[in-house]
Amino acid sequence: MKVSINWLKKYVDIEESPEALASDLTMFGLNVEGVEDLGADYSGVVFGKVVECGKHPAADKLSVCKVDVGGAKLLDIVCGAPNVRVGLSVAVAVDGAVLKDGFKIKKTKLRGEPSEGMICSETELGIGTDSGGIMELDLELDAGADLSGLLGDDDVILDIEVTPNRPDQLSHLGIAREIAALYKRKLREPETFALEPEEVYGIDIEDPEDCPRFSAAFIDNVTIVPSPEWMQKLLLSAGVKPISNIVDVTNFVLMELGQPLHAYDRDRLAGESIGVRRGHDNETIITLDETERKIDPDVLVIKDQDGSVGIAGIMGGADTEVSDKTTRILLESAAFGPRTIRRSSQSLKLDTEASYRFERGSDVSGTVKALERACWLIREIKAGIPETACRDFVAKPEAVEKTKITLRIAQANRLMGTHLDGDDLSSLLERLALDCEVSEDEVIVIVPGFRRDLKEEVDIIEEVARLYGYENIGREEYLRGNVFSKISTVDKRNEEVRSFLASRGFAEVITSSFMNMEDPDRMGWSESDFRSRPIRLENPLSVQQSAMRTSLIPGMLRVISRNAPAEQEGIRIFEMGKVFLPVNGGESLPDEQVHLTAMLSRTAVPAQWIDQSREVDYFDMKGELEYLLDRCAVRSELQIQRNKEEEPAYIYNWLTKGKIIAISGVIPSSVLKNYEIESPVHFFTAIMDVMHGAGFEEPRYSRLSPYPQVKRDLCVVAQERVTFADIRRVIEKRAKFLESIRLFDYYQGEALGEGRRSYTFSLGFRSRDNTLDDGAVDKVIQKVLNSLQRELQVTLRRME
Amino acid sequence: MNNKGIDRQTLEELEQTAVRELGEASDIGAIEELRVKYLGRKGSLTLSLRSIGSLPAGERPAMGNLINEIKGKLSGIYSARLEEISANIGDPEPFPGDHALPGRVFSQGGLHVLTRVTRDIKEIFFRMGYSLAEGPDVELDYYNFEALNFPEDHPSRDSQDTFYVNRDILLRTQTSPVQVRYMEKNDPPLRIISPGRVYRNETPDPSHAAEFHQIEGLYVDRNVSLADLRNDVTFFIHSFFGPDVKVRFRPHFFPFTEPSAEVDMECFGCRGEGCSICQKTGWIEIMGAGMVHPNVFKYAGYDPDSVTGFAFGMGIDRIAMLKYGIDDIRRFLANDIRFLGQFWSGSWAGVQD
Ligand SMILES: [Zn+2]
């Protein structure tokens, strides 16, 4: 909301500098986002008349003009506006003028032609948004007349952020009321012309919820001319373009009181009644902006006897618009249902100053007052003669009743941490024009119509806190409740896993939660795969971000792809984040699982003077995953699936108690191609929720044995169908005294014969009770060999 | 039993051989073998001592003394040799080349800057007695808006452009839904923080992202007041940004708190003088806060007459940007390795100017 300080001064004394006022208002809850000094911007802007206008010899789009600015000589000005022509009255910024944003006007040459000033557009002057051409002035002044008075008059504009709960602040009087409360000053209400409600006109409201109140005043002997300079000035400084006396009065009251008004040419309204109803399907209406608009039942319209004449609370119709020929006016001042106007505005995709205020809730009790103010102004500026009789129809009587709110003194103090008594509270609240009745424990607050945002006790407490000053609320009453911090083990362990991977040389990445609907295809997921049927957004930013990810992999592949040009020798990245698995066909909230995915690509070890670089392989990733699982105290079994038909050739599932805890493998080259990645990518994904359920056992202490360890090597030969895991399982099960086991050699090749592999283990044995002698260890080894032979047909390798 | 073995001469020969052998032994294994051979339980000297009994009673003391004397001497030599040999173990040939060559380099990695900042924030609140609570990203309209006192069809919903899945399901626009979810399942008193990702349907630019992160705080007890809110929030800002930073509370509006405030801290760029970081105001908006609205308590099933509470929320990405002077919020999810690496160590400081 842009407010003019000059305008505010009509209702409240302001001695503070604009900067001080802005900072005080900000601390009072009216966040001032900008302070703009208008006067300074317009010095050097004068009234001018275009006397000659011809084509620029060197540029099609430019015109060369001679402009009369009252001096002895006409100014040469090169102008690029399409609407420049002879006879136009314009605002000219002459040499030395400073426009918005400090833009300085100097004599110059444009494409070879001299230019001694600039003919200004609305945007260049900062008073409007029309930058399509120069501003055409409807005024007749002496050439050279200083326009800075008209445009600026040393006014300062505050740009105030008005929160949606405070429609009363969308007006100068509303802001002035806050300033009066802030500085404990008197508020001067604007002068009015008293109106008498009588049944002088028919009003028909279809639904009181849509329109709780409809008031109308009648003006005769209207003459449409421009409004007086003082009114134009104030409107301009509030960012409203002056049009004509009657329209300017309605806009003035809108900006002054916050009540939208609409003026109808009474002679163009059919019949002696007006009403409000929902639109009909297939109905259309041409609005003031000469746009034809389709109406539907979400849209609220104003009707006369013949049909709809305007869109209620948003914009009037062109047919009944005030024109030069208008002599009689019906002035509408109504209250419309906020939700209705919001739906209506969304359905039409049309917001206006009026709809903005109605959506937030207008002052239902203030409709007649706004008419009285408009009539006073119309009389004052001699735009017409108001009739004393007006029409006021209250469709919803409870909407105009004053409300009372009980404020418990103890509750106010409890919530704020203060020690205020009833009188303290009421004297604070009365500054905001809230009448109070104080009793021993309570203050009854009477809420005026313009503060309908005050609905319950806590709303009043907020006002008290604001008036008392947040900065004055102390901390001496500070209490600590009996609350202690519980450690979230899940969070702590997730963070530990992150740190662990980071120190293993992985870069943590954080990618978008969205996925591209092309990802399933690119990833080669089948249509029936749950990952191909993610939660979709109704209103995505783009196709690439139209669904919730079901896997971390596509996003991470994009990271690899994007970083490919960077001179990165090896890629090690991980992400821990949520994936969203659809539940109930997407009708319920999804299952949000935390996944951990790590990827390795290109070199495993950076090339350096002392070591050769080496490409990443399957065992690099497997080692990382095994180390991680061990770190998290997860025991798991590897299930290997051979995939004969398609890539990848192998899929590795890591199971714990029958549940998949992790999967690993290599990204198929066809997928890599889709993501424009050239080097193989190895990955694993661990499902953190399963990890938390299956692992992270607390460490256990066991007594250390004082006796020495005995080492033995064991070399065995197995058939192809037997795996390392099978052999290790048998050894671990059978080997008494076993303390450590490590595979230190593996061989397959001709020497062993087709389909045979040899494994060499280094085993460590130790007893808690004595030093193991050879005989005891030999016995254990023999037992292990017997079991390996019996269960797996694995034999001791004969040394030749 | 052969008693020839323990005459004086034999013992002296034994001694000479042992001394020679100990001197020649060059590794610990050999030394140990000699110890076992001469001094062990089944070693020559021990055996000699045992066979003294077969000597005439008059010769026994002299022979015993001799054996013990030799034993002591050999033990001494043994210990000295052991020490000598041990001292030489693992002393490799010095590297003959440039000793300033770099040591072995490993792959570099590290945490994402958002993880670091989130941890720092959590750490401070954990110290103050806050616990962690989490909620879903894909949320019901009910928790994101209705239970937080955002009326349906109300302009207060405009400030948060929302991604919808369907009429009832949306992507949370704030971490505040965790408040009601947590209160539904837990009785007061409670004090929680809840970090997480939030979504706004906004066209991204350097200061706006469609996905970013917030941390929510909530404290509910019998007599929590605005004064407590000021205390905790100030404690946090002083812990995170330094104890001299000025903090101010400005009245504001949020549907789910009342009274509500925006919290500003003194601009660290200019110490309140006004600069480009703070848009010449001297202050930087750091979080929104307020006293929990009674309607929110009602939705959560609490009695607003028996408890009070405060809530606050701040943007993690924004705090990271402020802390490190990062100029574009979109950097966080872009994961350019040159960006990520800057927060790992000194060697990734970027291009030299
Ligand atoms: Zn600053």
Tens digits of residue pLDDT in B58-71: 888 888 888 888 88
pLDDT at A140: 76
Kindly determine whether residue B226 and residue A539, on different chains, have CB atoms separated by under 8 Å: no
On whether both B44 and B140 belong to a single domain, the answer is no
Q: Domains in chain B: how many in total?
A: 2
C-alpha dihedral over B189, B194, B200, B204, to 10 degrees?
Answer: 150
Express the helix, strand and coil content of chain A in percent, nearest 5 each.
30, 30, 40
Same domain, B74 and B173: no
Sign of torsion over alpha carbons A667, A673, A674, A679: positive
Residue A478's pLDDT is what?
41
User: Comparing A544-548, A684-688, B35-39, B201-205, which segment has the lowest mean pLDDT?
Assistant: B35-39
pLDDT tens, position by position, A382-413: 999 999 999 999 999 988 888 999 999 999 99
Q: Which of A119, A103, A104 is nearest to A64 (CA)?
A: A119
Q: Would you say how long chain A is, in residues?
A: 800
Report the percentage of chain A scoring pLDDT > 70. Answer: 95
- Check residue A565 and give its pLDDT: 64
- What is the per-residue pLDDT across A32-56, written as a single tens digit (0 to 9) for each? 998 887 765 567 888 899 998 888 8
Phi/psi at A85 (5° precision): -160, 165
B242/chain A closest Cα distance in angstroms: 20
| Same domain for B230 and B311 | yes
Whether A184 has a pLDDT exceeding 80, the answer reads: yes
Q: Are residues B140 and B265 in the same domain?
A: yes
Distance CA A228, CA A383 (A): 10
Partner B contacted by A410 (CB < 8 A): no
Which helix (H) or strand (E) segment holds residue A651: the answer is: strand A650-656
Measured in angstroms, the CA of A563 and the nearest CA of chain B are apart by 6
Phi, psi of A260 (to 5 degrees): -70, 135
- Classify residue B206: in a domain, yes or no: yes
For testing contact with chain A, the best of B225, B264, B340 (most A CBs within 10 A): B225
Identify the closest residue of chain A to B306 by CA–CA distance. A411
Same domain, residue pair B31 and B123: no
Give me the domain span that covers residue B45.
Answer: 3-88
- B33 with B131, same domain: the answer is no
Which of residues B88, B121, B147 is at a domain's end?
B88
CA distance A124 to B277: 27
Kindly state whether residue B273 falls inside one of the protein's structural domains.
yes
Amino acid at B34: L
Distance between first and last Cα of chain A: 96
Is the previous residue joined to B259 through a cis bond, with omega within 30 degrees of 0?
A: yes
The verdict on B124 touching A (C-beta cutoff 8 Å) is: no
Side chain identity at residue A151, one-letter code = L
Task: Note residues around ion ligand 1 (Cβ under 5 angstroms).
Answer: B 267, 269-270, 275, 277-278
Is the CB of A760 inside 8 Å of chain B's CB atoms?
A: no
Task: For residue A478, give the nearest of B221, B304, B132 by alpha carbon.
Answer: B221
Give the mutation candidate from B163, B191, B213, B219 for the A interface (greatest A CB count, under 10 A): B163
Query: First CA to last CA across chain B, in angstroms?
Result: 92
Q: Which residue has the tokens 């362990």?
A: A493
Tell whether the model's pLDDT for residue B89 goes beyond 80: no
Chain A interface includes B341 (CB < 8 A) = yes
Q: Is B192 on the interface with A (CB under 8 A)?
A: no
Q: Does B109 contact A505 at a Cβ distance shorter than 8 Å?
A: yes
Contact A46, A94 (CB under 8 A): yes
Hey, is the C-beta of A572 within 8 angstroms of any chain B C-beta?
Answer: yes
A162, A169 Cβ separation under 8 angstroms: yes
Q: What is the mean pLDDT of chain A?
A: 89
3-state secondary structure of A481: coil
Give yes or no for a contact between A210 and A278, defined as CB atoms under 8 angstroms apart. Answer: yes
- Cross-sheet strand order for the sheet of A31-37: A2-4, A156-161, A31-37
ipTM associated with this complex: 0.77
Q: Average pLDDT, stretch A778-790? A: 94
Task: Read off the DSSP letter of residue A536.
Answer: B
What average pLDDT score do residues B9-28 get? 84
In contact, B205 and B179? CB cutoff 8 Å = no
Confidence band, pLDDT 50/70/90 cuts, at residue A127: low
pLDDT at B254 over 50: yes
pLDDT digit string (tens) for B233-252? 999 999 999 888 899 999 99
10 Å CB burial of residue A354 (0-12, 13-18, 19+) is: buried
Tell me the CA distances in angstroms from A797 to A722, A756, A760, A779, B63, one per residue in order: 15, 11, 9, 18, 56
Gap between the Cα atoms of B333 and B211, Å rounded: 9
Q: Please, where are the H alpha helices in B99-148?
A: 113-127, 141-144
pLDDT of residue A567 exceeding 80: no
- A133: DSSP letter: S
Whether B217 maps to a domain, the answer reads yes
Query: Is residue B99 situated within a structural domain?
Result: no
Flag if A458 and B293 touch (Cβ within 8 Å). yes
Contact B166 A578 (CB under 8 A): no
Report the chain B residue with the minimal C-alpha distance to residue A357.
B155
CB contact B275 to A (< 8 Å): no
CATH of the domain at B165: 3.30.930.10
Q: Per the CB < 8 Å rule, is A416 touching B104? A: no
Bridge-based pairing state of the strands A795-796 and A710-719:
antiparallel
H or E segment and range at residue A435: strand A435-438
What is the reported pLDDT for B313? 97
Q: How far is Cα B117 from Cα B135, in angstroms, rounded to an integer?
A: 20
With an 8 Å Cβ cutoff, is A458 touching chain B? yes
For B251, which of A470, A511, A580 is closest by C-beta distance? A470
Q: Which long-range contacts (CB under 8 A, 24 or more apart) does B279-288 make?
A: B283/B248, B284/B322, B286/B237, B286/B314, B286/B318, B286/B319, B286/B322, B287/B233, B287/B262, B287/B263, B287/B312, B287/B313, B287/B314, B288/B252, B288/B254, B288/B257, B288/B260, B288/B261, B288/B262, B288/B263, B288/B312, B288/B313, B288/B314
Which residue out of B186, B213, B221, B337 would a mutagenesis test of the A interface target, given it has the greatest number of A Cβ atoms within 10 Å? B337
Inside any domain, residue B331? yes
β-strand partners of A121: A134
Q: Which residues touch A289 (CB under 8 Å, ≥6 apart)?
A: A315
With beta carbons under 8 A apart, name residues in chain A contacting B248: 27, 470-471
CA of B116 to the centre of ligand 1 (A): 25
pLDDT band at B103 (very low <50, low <70, confident <90, very high): confident
- Is B234 among the domain residues? yes
- Residues B22, B170, single domain; the answer is no
Q: Phi first, then psi: what are they for A108, rounded to 5°?
A: -155, 180
Hey, CA dihedral for A369, A373, A374, A375, is it positive or negative? Answer: positive
Asked if the C-beta of A514 comes within 8 angstroms of chain B's C-beta atoms, the answer is yes
Hey, which residues does A745 pair with through a beta bridge? A760
Q: Give the distance from residue B71's alpha carbon to the nearest chain A alpha carbon, in angstroms.
A: 27
| Closest by Cβ to B227, choosing from A417, A513, A573 | A417
Q: Do B334 and A562 touch (CB under 8 A)?
A: yes
- Strands A389-394 and B131-132, bridge-based pairing: unpaired
Q: What is the pLDDT of residue B353?
A: 60
Nearest CB to A610 within list B104, B248, B335? B104
Claim to verify: residue B118 and residue B82 sit in the same structural domain: no
Burial B95-114 (b: 16+ CB within 10 A, else e): eeeeeeeeeeeebbbbbbbb
| CB contact (8 A) between residue A498 and residue B136 | no
Do B12 and B79 belong to one domain? yes
Pairwise CB contact (< 8 Å): A461 & B258: yes
A481 to chain B, any CB pair closer than 8 A? The answer is yes
B119, B160: one domain: yes
Task: Based on the fold, state whether residues B132 and B192 are members of the same structural domain.
Answer: yes
In the predicted model, what is the mean pLDDT of residues A510-524? 95
Taking the centre of ligand 1 as the mean of its atom positions, its distance from the CA of residue B284, in whole angstroms, is 8
User: Which tokens hold the place of A776?
Assistant: 């005891």
Beta-carbon separation of A416 and B227 below 8 A: yes
The answer to whether residue B98 sits within a structural domain is no
The span from the CA of A22 to the CA of A175, in Å, is: 12
Contact A605 B110 (CB under 8 A): no
Q: What is the tens place of the pLDDT at every residue in B151-163?
A: 877 777 776 689 9
Backbone CA torsion sign across A508, A513, A514, A518: positive
List CB contacts (< 8 A) between A590 and chain B: 136, 138
Query: Do residues B241 and B125 share a domain?
Result: yes
Is A736 in CB contact (< 8 Å) with chain B?
no
Structure tokens at A131: 């930058």
Give the pair of three-digit tokens for residue B317: 């990405």
Q: From A142, A160, A159, select the one nearest A68 (Cα to Cα).
A: A142
Say which DSSP state B72 is in: H
Map tokens 């009509």 to a residue. Answer: A10
**Residue B93 located in a structural domain:** no
Report pLDDT digits (tens) over A275-331. 999 999 888 999 998 899 999 999 999 999 988 999 999 999 999 999 999 999 999
| Residue A179 amino acid letter | I
Contacts A541 to B, Cβ<8 Å: 201, 203-204, 210
Q: Does B308 touch chain A (CB under 8 A)?
A: yes
